[in-house]
Each structure stands twice: as structure tokens, then as C-alpha cells.
Amino acid sequence: GSLTWCENGTRGLPPRSGIQWLCGGALVTNRHIVTAGHCVIISATITLSVARLGELNLDDNVPDGASPVDLQIDRTIPHPDYRSSAKVNDIAIVKLKSAVTFSDHIQPICLPSSSQLLANLFVGQSHYVAGWGALFFRGPSTKTLQQVDVDVTDEDFCKNAYRNQRGAVIDSRVLCAGKSGKDACQGDSGGPLMLDQGATYYLVGVVSYGKNCAEPGYPGVYTRVTAFVDWITRNLD
């Protein structure tokens, strides 16, 4: 599949609840996944425990040609300035207990670390967002990995859209993207916003929040990865 770096993180819930797949992420090395801060800081009773890599369909009874791998999580590293009460610095790194073996279905995505990409605002460029989230607002999550193309909007448009939304901070640490009925939705949190540069994909955004899903006039808000590349690379030990 073309989106084989999309990882489906699991949070271990209290014993009676079992486990539940709730967030996405993007594999950036053989032991590190970039996701959203709000995906790793939940509550004292919810612990991130397993990451599934190389998945396409979460229903094990459906033959999809994928050979997913479940790996235990060693630790999570939320950005030190992330606070659940504010919608900024919403990024985290998940470190796996063991290294994954790359394959046709499991490959890392590139970080946008070149000077050209670091200076790129990506406005007007088409990107892809992917995940196993809901297909519509408050709808059920999908079992099959979905992908949509979205366009990055300029900062002023996004600021105006979210000017009355409590806690929304639109600045250089985020980027906004959407396209006529296309958006990330509940369950896509932490997943990648990807820039296609021929044979290479770059992780330019992390799904953070939005106004419902694909709400007209409200693009989705993503953590801008170029603003955090230095922090990410410092924590890839």
C-alpha cells in the first residue's frame, strides 16, 4: 500500500475494557513514531501499550495482503510545552521496545528537514491525510485505512475561521488544510498529513483538531512538523 507508514496506536484500557485502537501515527525510524500529544496524555487509567505497523484493514478476518506487526511501546515523549487544556505543541514521539524490520508494507516517512522544506508554508499545495477514523462526524470508525487529498490554506483564513473557537491558537506552530467535504475526523488524531514529492513522501503535519469533520469554512488543524523538526531529531535516541 502507498500509506504503509501509517501506524495504528493502541491504548491499553482498564482490564474489563480490553484494548482499543484510537490514534494514528507515522513511523520515522525503525523504533520511533510521531503522533499527537493528546494521543499519549489521556488519564491515569489509560496507558499507551502497543503499536500496530503495516496494517490496512483492522478486521483480521478480511484478507488484505498486509502482514501487520504489533510491537510493545517502551515510552512516550510528549512535547514538554504541550498542555491538554491548550491546542498547541500537540505532538509526541512514541519509542518502541524493539526495532521493526522494514518491508514492502512497513517503511518510514521522511521528516521535512531540508532548508527548502523548512521554509515552505505549503499553502495551496495538495497533501494527503490518512487514518482509520470516523467517516463522518460522530460516525463509526472505519476498519479500512482511508486516504483523502486536502489543500493547505493560508494562516489568515484559518485564524478567521477559528477566531471564536475556545482554545484554538492559529500560529506558525500549526497548519490548516481541507477540501470540499474532505477532512480528518475522530479517530484520525496523530495521523500524518503527507506531502508527495514524486517517489518520496514527507510528514508535514500531524492531525490535531478541527470543527466537527469537514465542516464548511473550517479546515482541519494540524501540528506543523517543520516547527518541531529539531525537537523530534533530538529525541530520536
H helices then E strands: how many in the chain? 3, 12
8 Å CB contact between 6 and 28: no
Strand 6-12 relative to strand 19-27, pairing: antiparallel
Paired residues of 178 in beta bridges: 151
Write out the catalytic residue numbers.
38, 90, 189
DSSP letter for 32, please: E
8 Å CB contact between 77 and 193: no
C-alpha cell at position 26: 507515522
8 Å CB contact between 208 and 218: no
8 Å CB contact between 208 and 193: no
- Stated as kind and residue range, the H or E segment containing 159 is helix 155-161
Number of neighbours of residue 69 by Cβ within 10 angstroms: 16
